[in-house]
Structure 1
Amino acid sequence: MRDLAELRKEIDEIDIQMVKLFEQRMAVSEEVAEYKVAVGKKILDKEREKRKIQAVKAMTHSAFNSHGVEELYNQIMAMSRKLQYQRMEQQAVGRLPFVMVDELEKKNVRVVYQGVEGAYAQQAMFEFFGEDVNHFHVERWRDAMEAIAEGMADYAVLPIENSSAGIVNDNYDLLQEFDNYIVGEQVMTICHALLGTEDAELSDIQTVYSHPQGLMQCAKYLDENRQWQQISLLNTAVAAQKVAEDKDKTQAAIASALAGKQHGLKVLKENINFSGQNSTRFFIVTNQRIFCKNAGKVSICFEVSHESGCLYNVLSHFIFNNLNMCRIESRPIADKNWEYHFFVDFEGNLNDSAVKNALRGIREEALNLKILGNY
């Protein structure tokens, strides 16, 4: 049996040769990139890579080594593609599909939000644009997206996730569906109250209305009052409006204290959401492909083939380009069982070379890619 030090020395010598050969291979890959750019050939050639994998596996002498070589060459070819994407991006001629602006126009604009007066979306709008902004409200989130798509409003304010209840699924789907783009975000601290009519007491309550996430965020408090019927409505402020209009002291709404004040309701119980750190992130959306020069977060949506390793290959572009991924979500694709749209937020600006390189690679290797915005 050979000494461990001797074995490690031999491995070191082999590694020197492997690194040298790897660098030679990557140098050839650069020439391949130049050729493909010159003739307009796509970087990814799946059939060529499959044939190459089968060829190198056939050179091995055990099942273990065959599988290991397959993994090794998948990584080597992925690195080769990334280098080629980088060289292709450096030589690319053209303009960004998004226009950079110094800052967003917040005066002389019209803003739409979903709900009624007193909705958290209205508060988020006031914090982002100021309370003097020209605004109106609609019944559904889809109505808000249609309003900016049709030019009835310049911006829409949409909730996208809550720190306690998670993502707003419908709005992720709308971002993928509409040609509208994220240009800002506003994080609102959520403080729910139980609201009733002026003559109501806690002992009178039989039915509680709120948005589904409002009910979810107050689940611990509601579990202490299981005799109450819980009914979901489109918006927390809509719930407050209903209780005010019905004038029924057996009804209560979970909404903001502001909504209660605007609709003439009494606060029966304050701070009933179970998390003291409860907050909701709202997107500011427009129909213009613009981004601010100081934008620091990019949101994208893409779809990949339903094959092993495809999602990993796409996400590896963030690692290779040293980009910090903040969030990934998936939403099922209609009429395609077990296939999904993936939504990713990552740090960066569309003018950054690393971002351009990553988006180039993702666009080439995903089935489709949509840049949702830079904000």
Structure 2
Amino acid sequence: MDLGVLRDQIDDIDKQIIRLFEERMDVAEQVARYKIGCGKPVYDPVRERSKIERAKDMATSSFNARGVETLFNQLMAISRVRQYELVAEAHQDNFGFEECNGDHVGAKVAFQGVEGAYGHQATLGYFGKDVECYHVKTFEDVMKEVHEGRADYGVLPVENSSTGIITDVYDLMHLYDNYIVGEYVVKVEHALLGLPGTEIDQIKTVYSHPQGLLQCSRFLDEKPEWEQVSLQNTAVSAQKVLVEQDRTQAAIASPAAAAIYSLSVLKEKISDNDNNSTRFIIIRHKKEYVKGADGISISFELANAHETGSLYHALGFIIYNSLNMTKIESRPIQGDKWRYRFFIDFDGNIGEAPVQDALRGMAQETINFKILGNYIQVE
């Protein structure tokens, strides 16, 4: 048979498919209105699984059965997206988040480390040099200070451009009922710091945060005789060198820390990456966002994590609402072998209908879903 004739046949079949698809969507909308009226959930996984199995049984080959399964999974996903849109139209809400003016006047802010740490720099950069701020020992201490009301805001690092995410902070965001209200990026300029008058040849031990040591690995590899010791913070390392007054000790920290702790910069710009930067989040115990917020962070787990396409269908709500996903990370769930919690960033404002549609769909079709925050993104 002529190829042109075959293509004409496919065109005719496609027209029929489109007509039947639109008829199906009309009925799906009627189903949605019925569910809205009686308060039934959009997603009925038992019925959908049963219907897909029946549809597969109608196929004439195992290959076609797999295709039918994929096709009907997509049809039902698209149908649910439309139904969630109708639910959103009937029940508009911002998921408990309130719009605010972003006024930080009089705020008290907690950061991890000591003065001169990159967290301290992020705090001053975001809130201004006159902010009332104080340091705590650990990332979790920052979370607790904010959660228990002793601090209005907290500042925490979440990602470095060279070494990736700060996993501890991701895990803490799930554990504590705090929310991201802003972000700030600090350019990391690691330097080797020592007591005034110290020569590099005198150094035997180098202190820094584990990330600081990792981010300067090429420089440190040239000095295999140096002992590398991890401390809880880069500025704490500088402080230790000052207090112990030992010329065999050095710290990897910022030039700002050198100025604060009266140390000399023995060698500047020792990072592996000249464009090394760390992204910090600003957290608060209130669900709030500013009018211009354009980035949303969420976390969730999959109810059927090992079922084919489960993650794809969860992310489908972002795709179908024409939203741009900018980041996805996963973290193992403690005590639950081979199960993971997903962290997603995407563009949008929680007051926008497409964002609400996506959030509503994912909230209903995943477990332990949490909106981590809506904030202005920093390029």
TM-score bracket for this pair, using the shorter chain length:
over 0.9
**Structure 1 counterpart of 2:359:** 359
Secondary structure of 1:132 counterpart: coil
1:196-215 Cα distance to aligned partner (Å, 9 max, x none): 11132100111111111111
What are the equivalent positions in structure 2 for 1:50-199 lying under 5 Å apart?
50-92=49-91, 94=93, 96-101=95-100, 103-199=101-197
The offset of 1:60, in angstroms, is 1.1
Question: Aligned letter for 2:158?
Answer: I
The offset of 1:309, in angstroms, is 1.4
Question: Aligned letter for 1:283?
Answer: I
The offset of 1:96, in angstroms, is 3.7
Secondary structure of 1:41 counterpart: coil
The offset of 1:40, in angstroms, is 1.1
**Structure 2 counterpart of 1:331:** 331
Q: Distance in 2 between matches of 1:202 and 1:94?
A: 61
Question: Aligned letter for 1:141?
Answer: F
* Stretches of structure 2 lacking an aligned partner (at least 5 in a row): none
TM-score, structure 2 as length reference: 0.97
Match of 2:289 among 291, 295, 312: 291
**Structure 2 counterpart of 1:245:** 243
Alpha carbon RMSD of aligned pairs, Å? 0.9
1:260-290 Cα distance to aligned partner (Å, 9 max, x none): 1111111110000011110000001111111
Q: Distance in 2 between matches of 1:166 and 1:126?
A: 23
Residues 94, 356 of structure 2: 8 Å contact kept:
no
The offset of 1:94, in angstroms, is 5.0
Question: Aligned letter for 2:297?
Answer: S
TM-score, structure 1 as length reference: 0.98
Question: Aligned letter for 2:355?
Answer: V
Secondary structure of 2:119 counterpart: helix
**Structure 2 counterpart of 1:35:** 34
Distance verdict in 2 for CA 1:258–1:326, change over 3 Å? same
**Structure 2 counterpart of 1:213:** 211
Distance verdict in 2 for CA 1:198–1:288, change over 3 Å? same
Q: Distance in 2 between matches of 1:362 and 1:96?
A: 13
Q: Distance in 1 between matches of 2:368 and 2:138?
A: 28
Percent of aligned positions that are identical? 50
Q: Distance in 1 between matches of 2:92 and 2:269?
A: 56
Secondary structure of 1:9 counterpart: helix
* Stretches of structure 1 lacking an aligned partner (at least 5 in a row): none
Secondary structure of 2:22 counterpart: helix
The offset of 1:93, in angstroms, is 5.3
Q: Distance in 2 between matches of 1:282 and 1:17?
A: 53
Question: Aligned letter for 1:359?
Answer: L
Residues 94, 350 of structure 2: 8 Å contact kept:
no
1:270-327 Cα distance to aligned partner (Å, 9 max, x none): 0000111100000011111110011000011111122221111111111100000111
Question: Aligned letter for 2:236?
Answer: V
1:166-202 Cα distance to aligned partner (Å, 9 max, x none): 1111111111111111000001111000001113210
* Paired residue total: 373
Q: Distance in 2 between matches of 1:246 and 1:118?
A: 18
The offset of 1:95, in angstroms, is 5.6
